[in-house]
């Protein structure tokens, strides 16, 4: 059981990677059923989050470290693969 967050708990640092990963987590939850631990499959909203990540990639091109660029590209690719697999099921 996890402990509730209080105002005394340190806030984890927020950087570009944490921000991009948080968007990817939301997209993934939108492509995962409650039985699998997700929020339920909502492909239009998942697609919107993937598009947000693509926009972020395009708008930050040339301003990210090599590691950040690789991480963002991998997030987008992995989400796209899952999205396509789900759309092919329906």
Q: Is residue 14 part of a domain?
A: no
Domain that holds residue 87: 43-90
Is residue 85 domain-resident?
Answer: yes
Instruction: List strand residue ranges (DSSP E) for 1-90, in order.
Output: none
* Residue 86 domain flag: yes
Kindly tell me the burial class for residue 31, based on how many C-beta atoms sit within 10 Å of its own C-beta (0-12, 13-18, 19 or more). buried
pLDDT digits over 25-45, tens only? 999 999 988 888 877 899 999
User: What CA–CA distance (Å, rounded) separates 84 from 14?
Assistant: 30
- Whether 34 is covered by a domain: the verdict is no
Global pTM reads 0.80
Give the pLDDT score at 79: 96
For the chain, 90 residues long, give each residue's pLDDT as a single digit of tens: 455 656 666 767 789 999 999 999 999 999 988 888 877 899 999 999 999 999 999 999 999 999 999 999 999 999 999 999 999 986
The structural domain count of the chain equals 1
């Amino acid at each position: 059981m996890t402990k509730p967050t209080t105002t005394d708990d340190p806030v984890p640092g927020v950087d570009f990677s944490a921000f991009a990963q948080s968007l990817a987590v939301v997209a993934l939850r939108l492509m995962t059923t409650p039985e699998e631990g997700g929020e339920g499959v909502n492909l239009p909203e998942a697609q919107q989050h993937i598009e947000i990540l693509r926009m972020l990639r395009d708008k930050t091109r040339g301003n990210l470290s090599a590691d950040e660029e690789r991480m963002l590209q991998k997030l987008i690719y992995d989400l796209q693969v899952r999205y396509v697999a789900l759309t092919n099921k329906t």
